[in-house]
Amino acid sequence: MDLVNQSKLWSKIKPAKPTRLQQEARIGLLFLAPWLIGFVLLKALPILAALVFSLTDFKMLTPEATKFVGLENYLRFFSDSQAGASLFGSLGYFLVTVPLEMTVALALAAIFTNARLKNKRISQTLIFMTSIIPSTSIFFIFLGSLAYADRLFFKPYNLPPIEGFGLLLPFMALWSIGPGFLIMYSAMESVPNEVYEAARVDGAGPWARLVYITLPMISPAIFFTLVINLTGAFGGSLLLDRGYILSFSLSPMESYINTTMFNRAQLGYASALAWITFAVMMTITVLLFRSARRWVYFPEEDEENEV
Amino acid sequence: MKFNRKAARRSDASRLTLRLWDFTGTAMLNLFMFLFLVAYLSPLPFMVIASLTPRDQFLDAHAPILPSERVKFNYEGKDLVVYKVPTAEGVKHWALYKPGRTSSQFIDPANPAAGLIEWKGQWRTLRSVYEFKPTLQNYQDFLSIAKIPLYFKNTIIVALISEIGVLFSSIAVAYGFSRFRIPGVKYIFFLLIATIMIPSNITLVPTYYLFSGHVLDWIGTWLPLLVPHFFGSAILIFLLRQNFKSIPRDLDEAAMLDGAGPLRILISVILPQSIPVVTTVALLHFFYIWNETRLSSLYLGIAPNLQMVSFAVQRNQTYFFTPEALMVGALIVMVVPVVVLFLSQRFFMQDMIVTQIEK
């Protein structure tokens, strides 16, 4: 439906005879229009609105009684130990799961590059498969397995039952290595063979080849995977989104914001919390991109300019 | 002559050891991968077994792990439980007729005509006999309470509508990013990448307010889940754009000389060459819609007849919280994405790799 409008507008532009470049830019912008409109309406304005909300005591049920309270919500964050704990919980989640995911994915990718491995395609699909299982299912499988273990082993042998969801995190992390694994595997496959042969001639063993050739050569892929995982840990959009689990979000900060918003209806404070998370996440991202210049190998600099 | 033979023999031997080593290495590698996969996927077969297990099986701590039922024997219109009874002539499978404190009366299912047998001992120490018997009872219970077909229908409708929206807009935008010289397009593209990383809860409060009764009044409808997709999805635009850029421009230019407009070029030059990536993107979006629970819980919590599978199952599962019922729910929710992945694995995964690595 957008396309029809665009083609109509395009024919309207034509008689005005602007220069070729101007015309091209206009048509291009028309094609970009859906996303640009969506960006303004659903991203830019809401983010700014959240900033405004965070400076007020906005409540959903009585929007007309809203007062400007300045930085009160932000100051409240520093005295709210639960919020601090949630934020650290989210960071901790990132620090625990991401290295685990990355290491396992990298190790598997390294094994997969070995020509002796048989049935690669089916193994690859099986490894990838767990990454598309909805979180609903994962959560139920986890709960059900715990209950079973309890019935079959813990109760009969009088062992203390496993409590809480501590094991769920590594379990879910291990079951989400699919995209990272594929990215790193294909990056390893595309490292030219001559490099390895040259290293072999120089007497480099498999371990040296992995550390000094493979890892630097696939550093862009590692970086990309790291960014994807970071995005996922803080609730950005994911390549494969599993959805989340009611009443128990894997990101403690996110569930705390939801509680503040829906159970306590304090939208102003919830917005402030969201902005704080956003700021923390952006700081980490910027640091990550800064550090990337040091350890990520970019073969061809900036393809963007040739467009 | 002698020397030559010796050398030949030695090289034969070394070739043999080399081949032996080669074989062992290959075998160990493949064995390792096999064991890894077994361990990695072990919860899945376990889930299937558990979902077929009768609910009261584990009330008896000595019950077998596989889905089984107690063997019963019908005698004079009553179902009697069969126990393993130790007797002077070895262990017998007898049905308990009349339990008593120190002695009980049993009946032999193989020979009921022989009448009641008196056995001395505490019958509670006996173990019952089980036979392998998977049950579909958990599935029946679950389906009778949750309106699963309705949820499946809802999911399919939402998936189709949003798929159309997201594909039309994302393809158009990706085409705009890949083929036109627009001043500052680099910065717009940077914005696009940045939006991928923006946490969703920063926009949650204002968008919820926008969709709530104060402004648009869309809560309890599908609109909050559908409309945003008509503006394109940043991550899909990124994947499509990477692919469109890799298509040589010669063909567009030839088409342009023939008088084709931009839309014509997109439809008859770019798209026919991008069928794999478009399918990949469509599948990614399908998985997203299938797994979506966040927005459903916000906007569809009050509309039980509009809910989609993952969210609805998650909600209804609280009615019966036994492990077997949980496994049924898990299986019902995950079966569709897994089957779709296996049907499309060949190009889905390859294409995902190719498009991403160009970043």
Give per-residue pLDDT as tens, B16-46: 888 888 888 889 989 999 999 998 998 888 8
Higher-pLDDT residue of A57 and A161 is A57
- The per-residue pLDDT of chain A, averaged, comes to 79
- B180 vs chain A: nearest CA distance in angstroms? 5
User: How is residue A304 annotated by DSSP?
Assistant: G
For B102, counting Cβ atoms within 10 Å of its Cβ (0-12 exposed, 13-18 middle, 19+ buried), the class is exposed
Q: What is the structure's pLDDT at A307?
A: 32
| Percent of the residues in chain B that have a pLDDT greater than 70, as a whole number | 92
Q: Could you give the 3-state DSSP secondary structure of residue A118?
A: coil
Q: Are the C-beta atoms of A26 and A13 separated by less than 8 Å?
A: yes
Task: Label residue A14 by pLDDT band (50, 70, 90).
Answer: low
Chain B residue numbers touching A60 (CB-CB < 8 A): 209, 212
Q: Are the C-beta atoms of B296 and B277 separated by less than 8 Å?
A: no
B280 Cβ partners below 8 Å, 6+ apart? B239, B347, B348, B351, B352, B355
The predicted model gives B89-104 an average pLDDT of 80
The angle subtended at Cα B213 by Cα B212 and Cα B215, nearest 5°, is 80
Give per-residue pLDDT as tens, A218-234: 888 888 888 887 777 77
Q: What is the structure's pLDDT at A5?
A: 56
- B341:A45 CB<8 A: no
- B323 vs chain A: nearest CA distance in angstroms? 4
Task: Label residue B300 by pLDDT band (50, 70, 90).
Answer: confident
The predicted model gives B69-88 an average pLDDT of 80
Q: Are the C-beta atoms of B270 and B252 separated by less than 8 Å?
A: yes
- pTM (whole model) above 0.90: no
Lowest mean pLDDT among A42-46, A149-153, B301-305: A149-153
**Structure tokens given for A222:** 């590692």
The predicted model gives A40-55 an average pLDDT of 90
- The per-residue pLDDT of chain B, averaged, comes to 83
Q: Is the pLDDT of residue B4 over 70?
A: no
Q: Is the pLDDT of residue B174 over 90?
A: yes
Nearest to B326 among A140, A234, A275 (CB): A140
Nearest to B33 among A121, A123, A187 (CB): A123
Chain B residue numbers touching A6 (CB-CB < 8 A): 172, 263
Name which of B218, B235, B236 is nearest B227 in CA terms: B218
Q: What is the structure's pLDDT at B359?
A: 43
Q: Could you give the 3-state DSSP secondary structure of residue A199?
A: helix
Q: What phi and psi values does residue B101 have, to the nearest 5 degrees?
A: -70, -50
Would an 8 Å CB–CB cutoff place A75 in contact with chain B?
A: no
Would an 8 Å CB–CB cutoff place B293 in contact with chain A?
A: yes
**Structure tokens given for B3:** 């020397």
Distance CA B224, CA B203 (A): 13
Q: What is the structure's pLDDT at B128?
A: 81
Distance CA A94, CA A236 (A): 13
Give per-residue pLDDT as tens, B232-272: 988 899 888 888 888 888 888 888 888 888 888 999 889 99
Task: Label residue A306 by pLDDT band (50, 70, 90).
Answer: very low
Give per-residue pLDDT as tens, A124-146: 889 988 888 888 888 888 878 87
Name which of B309, B308, B288 is nearest B300 in CA terms: B308
β-strand pairing of B78-87 with B127-128: antiparallel
- A140:B43 CB<8 A: no
| Percent of the residues in chain A that have a pLDDT greater than 90, as a whole number | 8
Q: What is the structure's pLDDT at B9?
A: 62
Would an 8 Å CB–CB cutoff place A279 in contact with chain B?
A: no
Task: Label residue B120 by pLDDT band (50, 70, 90).
Answer: confident
Q: Could you give the 3-state DSSP secondary structure of residue A266?
A: strand
The predicted model gives B144-172 an average pLDDT of 91
Helices A267-295, B204-211: axis angle to 10 degrees equals 140
- B280 vs chain A: nearest CA distance in angstroms? 11
Distance CA A100, CA A181 (A): 12
B208 Cβ partners below 8 Å, 6+ apart? A261, B298
Q: What is the structure's pLDDT at B1?
A: 47
Chain A residue numbers touching B231 (CB-CB < 8 A): 34-35, 37-39, 41-42
Chain A residue numbers touching B326 (CB-CB < 8 A): 140-141, 143-144, 147
Q: What is the structure's pLDDT at B350?
A: 65
The predicted model gives A2-19 an average pLDDT of 56
- A43:B235 CB<8 A: no
Residues in chain B: 359
Q: Is the pLDDT of residue B173 over 90?
A: yes
Q: Are the C-beta atoms of A201 and A101 separated by less than 8 Å?
A: no
Q: What is the structure's pLDDT at A243?
A: 65
Chain A residue nearest residue B339, CA to CA: A129
Distance CA A5, CA A170 (A): 49
The predicted model gives B212-216 an average pLDDT of 83
The predicted model gives A284-301 an average pLDDT of 77
User: How is residue A171 annotated by DSSP?
Assistant: H
Q: What is the structure's pLDDT at B214?
A: 81
Distance CA A72, CA A89 (A): 24
The predicted model gives B302-329 an average pLDDT of 80
Mutant choice from A54, A137, A225 vs B, greatest count of B C-beta within 10 A: A137
CB < 8 Å from A in window 85-114 of B: none
Name which of B147, B196, B195 is nearest B306 in CA terms: B147
Q: Show the domains of chain A with their CATH numbers.
A: 80-306 (1.10.3720.10)
Lowest mean pLDDT among A1-15, A193-207, B158-172, B310-324: A1-15
Lowest mean pLDDT among A18-22, A176-180, A296-300, B182-186: A296-300
Q: Is the pLDDT of residue B49 over 70?
A: yes
Rg (CA), chain B: 33
Task: Label residue B171 by pLDDT band (50, 70, 90).
Answer: very high
Return the HEC string of chain B: CHHHHHHHHHHHHHHHHHHHHHHHHHHHHHHHHHHHHHHHHCHHHHHHHHHCCCCCHHHCCCCCCCCEEECEEEECCEEEEEEEEEECCEEEEEEEEECCCCEEEEECCCCHHHCEEEEECCHHHCEECEEECCCCHHHHHHHHHCCHHHHHHHHHHHHHHHHHHHHHHHHHHHHHHHHCCCCCHHHHHHHHHHHHHCCHHHCHHHHHHHHCCCCCCCCCCCHHHHHHHHHCCHHHHHHHHHHHHCCCCHHHHHHHHCCCCHHHHHHHHHHHHCHHHHHHHHHHHHHHHHHCCHHHHHHCCCCCCCCCHHHHHHHHHHHCCCHHHHHHHHHHHHHHHHHHHHHHHHHHHHHHHHHHHCC
Buried-state track B208-245, b at ≥16 Cβ within 10 A, e below 16: bbbbbeeeeebbebbebbbbbbbbbbbbbbbbbbbbbb
**Structure tokens given for A282:** 């952006």
Q: What is the structure's pLDDT at A165?
A: 65
DSSP assignment of A37-106 equals HHIIIIIIHHHHHHHHHTTBT-BSS-GGG--B-TTHHHHHHHH-HHHHHHHHHHHHHHHHHHHHHHHHHH
Would an 8 Å CB–CB cutoff place B301 in contact with chain A?
A: no
Nearest to A237 among B22, B234, B287 (CB): B234
Q: Is the pLDDT of residue A148 over 80?
A: no
- A38 vs chain B: nearest CA distance in angstroms? 5
Q: What is the structure's pLDDT at A235?
A: 67
Q: What is the structure's pLDDT at A45?
A: 92
Chain B residue nearest residue A20, CA to CA: B181
- B180:A31 CB<8 A: yes
- B231:A129 CB<8 A: no
Q: What is the structure's pLDDT at A302?
A: 44
Would an 8 Å CB–CB cutoff place B48 in contact with chain A?
A: no
Distance CA B81, CA B73 (A): 6
Q: What is the structure's pLDDT at A85?
A: 85
- A134 vs chain B: nearest CA distance in angstroms? 5
Chain A residue numbers touching B317 (CB-CB < 8 A): 140
**Structure tokens given for A31:** 């094609």
- A46:B185 CB<8 A: no
